[in-house]
Structure 1
Amino acid sequence: MTACDSVNPDRWQRILAGVLDSFAGRFGRVEPRRTAAAFVTGLLSDLEVKTCWQLAEQAGHARPDAMQRLLFRAVWDADAVRNDLRQLIAERFGAPDAVLIPDETGDLKKGVHTVGVQRQYTGTAGRIENSQVGVFLAYASEHGHTLIDRRVYLPVSWTDDRDRCRAAAVPDDVGFATRSELAADMLTAALDAGMPAGWVAADEAYGNSSVFRAHLREHGLGYVLAVSRSHLIPLDGGKTRVRADQVAADLPDSAWQRRSAGAGSKGPRVYDWAWLDDVCTDADPDDGGRHSLLIRRNSTTRELAFYRCWTPHPTTLAQLVRVAGIRWTVEESFQAAKSQVGLDQHQVRRWDSWHRFTILALAALAVLAICAADAATHESDAPTDSGLIRLTANEIRRLINTCIIRPISDLAHRFHWSQWRRRHQARARQSHYTRRLNLELQQ
């Protein structure tokens, strides 16, 4: 077996077809089914911008109408497609010790009409910006990882304004939910659907929520959840509470063990770890599990991170460190989803259109994730070291685009789209000028 054996366009073509076939039955008519397949394929292409216009041109359509109709008026259930993709990932990556990872990401947006948009903090910008926040759920096991679900976050400014919600097609029964409540809802849905998982890992936004932690214990899911340095740790059965950073400061040198949290791009991610077993037991003394505090210390900067842990059965430090390290796969999935399949490039305002675009983007991401896992399997079977790094999602998408996707090269088609865009933009400009003139006349 050679290094080139892991690059197999025929096998990747079958993977792409398998992902598309997994939810093809959700479309009652052949036209939206074909459009959805072209949409997902277009998201895998080398288009710099992946909106309906560009995707339609890539697919060889004369106009963007079919792509826009798919996101707006076509009859299909985005959550049903989500269920099919989730089942496919369970079959491909499923493992009893897999980790479910909720996290959020923001997209900077202009205006006030796009669903969920307001001035709010987003980690994408690292500050408060006019943005839209989505809460996502990732699935990670030894076989691979990808995003499997999503929810758009609606701030109170939206849920308290039902006229604004109706204008964005938000269902009347959708009320305010915190981000941790959205995450809990997705976790419950995944478990109810039979997703095999033994753990949950998440950052401070979820770990600091006692309600979220209790929800996981009710489902028997072990967890390794980051908490803030000021988080109060219950000791002595809850009789005393001490800040997490103070607990770390009182530890002797012998309490720390050096372990790797997994492989990184620059080598093993080695940290010092301290594990305080049988603490944090104030929540539910009858839950039958084991509460503990895990502390991570950067061996160079001495920076600390803190995790509240719970397991339904006895566990080891190595297992907790593994779960803590796996949480970073959700960041890799976000990066791949945005840079490779255009997760943040949607130009939709409505509730239903956002959920439709994002699930099709997750379908394209699933293609890359499965292809990457497939390539890794064949690379690990190679008898000798090829001297190459493993195929990344970025490289796989390039190869898929080169070997499978056939970009439209007909000049007449390109000239047609150039004229269509210029005509559409001229009409839009005229409409803006007319609207502005009317406003000035009214004043």
Structure 2
Amino acid sequence: MFETLMDTIGARFGRPEPRRRVRDFIAGLLAPLPVKNCWTIAEHAGDDGPGGMQDLIGRASWDDAGVRADVRDFVAARLGHPDGVLLVDEAGDLKKGTRTVGVQRQYSGTAGKIENCQLAVHLSYASPLGHTLLDVALYLPKSWTEDPERRAEAGVPNTIGFATKPQLARRLIETALAGGLPCRWVAGDEAYGGDPRLAAALRGHRLGYVLAVACSHHVPTGLGIFRADRLAAGLPKRAWQRLSAGVGAKGLRYYDWAFIALPHAVDQHQGHHWLLIRRNRGTGELAFYRCWSPELVALRQLVAVAGRRWSIEESFQATKTGLGLDQHQHRRWKAWHRWTTLVIAAHAFLAAATAISTSSPDGLIDITVNELRRLFHALILEPARPAADVIAWSIFRRRHQDAAKISHYARQALTEP
């Protein structure tokens, strides 16, 4: 599978040297290097210096958007499912200075406060077969788009203008749809749920959505327009149902859920509108979602889509801790997109390979993306140790994780339905 993906991506390059280097680069991203950059990846590949890898990222002639299209086709062939969910979210990379493309002081969800950082809108794909990052768009604040000298220094193309994060998300979604990726739903947080134009565009594509909104979001009802939190406060006790939003690190994620049909929100796209409300069983904290589907669906289906949104956070964690998504040292537009594209390709390979891993016997959890990355490097890319030693360590880790899983589920069973 790895060689198939590398051959597909390699067809984007006209010469054998960059084809070899892109394979070595992705192999380096998959390697357990303490830091991922062109120097360490070149050393892992056996090069005598970092120049070749730096050329690949900064100066060689290739189309990163074309490579992401190849990755999308690879994902569609191996993880594609009619009930697939497109997930949009932003990731921030903390940076120093002012010269790195897109950087300024702005709110970063990664840091939880205003910091000097880059922000990028990511598109992820989740299906019953697995989930992976798929596409990306760097957010350029107006302080960049309105500064020609700064743009020129960072190599920002003249065709790139200012776009809000929901506008970037819409472009990513429409590119995925145009590429034939099978999907039925879109999910995102408040940054995207609060934009009515994005929601209208999704309805136009007949894509159902579950988009988070603020408690102050105004909802049309037969009695007028009300805030979401006011509607929640008036719900009777029987309106709430306890349902799981999916499997978490410590068992099933149970919340109390309610939904309100909104027939007065119907527009020219027809379909069905709801306000979905989630209540934390411990704190009572509420979360709100605007939902739409071209056909009638049950509450359980909306809850499942809302729960799917957290898989993009898992993808961020896997790519940052294992693949160096945020470890790039590049200031320019082209280099940033190329680094991120190759990280996405590496993650898509791991997700697809994990999806075909056979079920584990009793006493072991299924192989995870992180575990497969370790095995693939040790057994295929760099078999420096005996295979039996590598597999023994894999079994040890998975047995320990299975014992922890059983313990979490047993503790949860004492209090959960």
Pairwise same-fold verdict (TM > 0.5): yes
Tell me the amino acid that sits aligned with residue 399 of structure 1.
L
Moved more, 80-89 or 239-248: 239-248
Describe the SS at the equivalent of 1:67: helix
Who is 1:195 aligned against? 181
- Does the aligned pair in 1 maintain the 2:220–2:262 contact within 8 Å? no
Describe the SS at the equivalent of 1:97: coil
- Does the aligned pair in 2 maintain the 1:58–1:408 contact within 8 Å? no
Corresponding residue to 1:151 among 128, 134, 137: 137
- Does the aligned pair in 2 maintain the 1:135–1:151 contact within 8 Å? yes
Describe the SS at the equivalent of 2:35: coil
Who is 1:406 aligned against? 382
Describe the SS at the equivalent of 2:36: coil
Report the aligned-residue RMSD: 1.4
Who is 1:206 aligned against? 192
Pair 122,407 (structure 1): closer, same or farther in 2 beyond 3 Å: farther
Tell me the amino acid that sits aligned with residue 395 of structure 1.
E
Who is 2:315 aligned against? 333
Describe the SS at the equivalent of 1:129: strand
Who is 1:429 aligned against? none
Who is 1:296 aligned against? 278
Who is 2:56 aligned against? 70
Who is 2:31 aligned against? 45
Tell me the amino acid that sits aligned with residue 251 of structure 1.
L
1:84 counterpart = 2:70? yes
Describe the SS at the equivalent of 1:58: helix
Q: Which runs of 4+ in 1 moved over 3 A?
A: none
1:243 counterpart = 2:227? yes
CA shift at 1:402, angstroms? 1.4
Distance in structure 1 (CA, Å) of the matches to 2:221 and 2:195: 18
- Does the aligned pair in 1 maintain the 2:210–2:305 contact within 8 Å? yes
Who is 2:257 aligned against? 273
Describe the SS at the equivalent of 2:381: coil
CA shift at 1:232, angstroms? 1.1
Distance in structure 1 (CA, Å) of the matches to 2:332 and 2:25: 18
Distance in structure 2 (CA, Å) of the matches to 1:242 and 1:254: 21
Cα shift readout 1:318-372 (whole Å, capped 9, x = no counterpart): 1111111111100000000101110101110111111110000011111211122
CA shift at 1:18, angstroms? 2.0
1:323 counterpart = 2:305? yes
Tell me the amino acid that sits aligned with residue 128 of structure 1.
I
CA shift at 1:17, angstroms? 1.4
Higher relative contact order (CA 8 A, sep 6+): 1
1:359 counterpart = 2:345? no
TM-score, scaled relative to structure 1: 0.85
Who is 2:395 aligned against? none
CA shift at 1:22, angstroms? 2.2
- Does the aligned pair in 2 maintain the 1:137–1:183 contact within 8 Å? yes
Describe how 1:382-421 pairs up with structure 2 within 5 A: 385-406=361-382
Structure 1 residue runs without a partner (length 5+):
1-14, 410-443
Distance in structure 1 (CA, Å) of the matches to 2:5 and 2:355: 14
1:308 counterpart = 2:308? no
Describe the SS at the equivalent of 2:116: strand
CA shift at 1:405, angstroms? 2.1
CA shift at 1:212, angstroms? 1.0
Cα shift readout 1:408-429 (whole Å, capped 9, x = no counterpart): 99xxxxxxxxxxxxxxxxxxxx
Distance in structure 2 (CA, Å) of the matches to 1:320 and 1:391: 28
- Does the aligned pair in 2 maintain the 1:58–1:407 contact within 8 Å? no
Distance in structure 2 (CA, Å) of the matches to 1:187 and 1:354: 21
Distance in structure 2 (CA, Å) of the matches to 1:407 and 1:185: 42
CA shift at 1:270, angstroms? 1.0
Distance in structure 2 (CA, Å) of the matches to 1:305 and 1:224: 12
1:285 counterpart = 2:264? no
Describe how 1:10-29 pairs up with structure 2 within 5 A: 15-29=1-15
Percent identity of paired positions between Structure 1 and Structure 2: 53
CA shift at 1:136, angstroms? 0.4
Structure with higher Rg: it is 1
1:183 counterpart = 2:159? no
- Does the aligned pair in 1 maintain the 2:91–2:119 contact within 8 Å? yes
Who is 1:219 aligned against? 205
Tell me the amino acid that sits aligned with residue 64 of structure 2.
A
Corresponding residue to 1:57 among 33, 39, 43: 43
Describe the SS at the equivalent of 2:186: strand
TM-score, scaled relative to structure 2: 0.90
Who is 1:230 aligned against? 216
Q: Would you say how many aligned residue pairs link Structure 1 and Structure 2?
A: 385
Cα shift readout 1:205-240 (whole Å, capped 9, x = no counterpart): 10011111111111110000110111111112xx72
